[in-house]
Amino acid sequence: MAVLRGGSYDSTAVGVNTTGLVTPEQISSFISNLNLLDQIGNFELNYIFAHSQRLNGDAIVAFVRALCKVSMVELQFPTDPRIFSLTKIVEIAHYNMNRIRLV
């Protein structure tokens, strides 16, 4: 599960533990993330992606890598795969088409 720590996204926590069970810490983190998402509107969320061309080279690479990790987790559910992050990767590619190749 992805974690939000101190206002920044921690993509290293994406994944499942070895037992496959959800821990109380993961549930607490998930609830915290949902509460944070309730405070962010669609405009603010879309603003992040639409203005990603303002990120420097290192930041855009980190942003896309984190989004790819989340997208891979979303696509792992065979009965109900989500494509939100995958769609956002396409949008970021469109917004950043004028950049030099970094990845």
My answer on whether 30 and 74 are in the same domain is no
pLDDT of residue 79: 85
Strand boundaries in the chain, DSSP class E: 3-5, 8-10
- Identify the domain containing residue 66 by its residue range: 45-103
Please check whether residues 35 and 49 belong to one and the same domain.
no
pLDDT at 46: 86
pTM across the whole model: 0.59
Same domain? For 31 and 51 the reply is no
- Give the model's pLDDT for residue 89: 93
Number of compact structural domains in the chain: 2
CB 70 within 8 A of CB 82: no
Do 52 and 100 reside in the same domain of the chain? yes
Q: What is the pLDDT along the chain (103 residues), one digit of tens a residue?
A: 444 444 444 444 545 555 667 777 877 777 777 777 677 777 888 888 899 999 988 888 899 999 999 888 888 888 888 888 899 999 999 999 988 776 5
Q: Give residue 95's pLDDT.
A: 92
The pLDDT value given to residue 5: 43
Under 8 Å CB-to-CB from 84, ≥6 apart: which residues?
74
Spell out a b/e string for 33-64, using b for 16 or more CB atoms within 10 Å of the CB, else e.
Answer: eeeeeeeeeeeeeeeebeebeebeeeebeebb
Looking at the structure, tell me whether residues 52 and 34 fall in a common domain.
no
In DSSP terms, 4 is beta-bridged to 9
Residues 18, 58 share a domain: no
Record the tokens describing residue 7, joined without a space.
């206002």
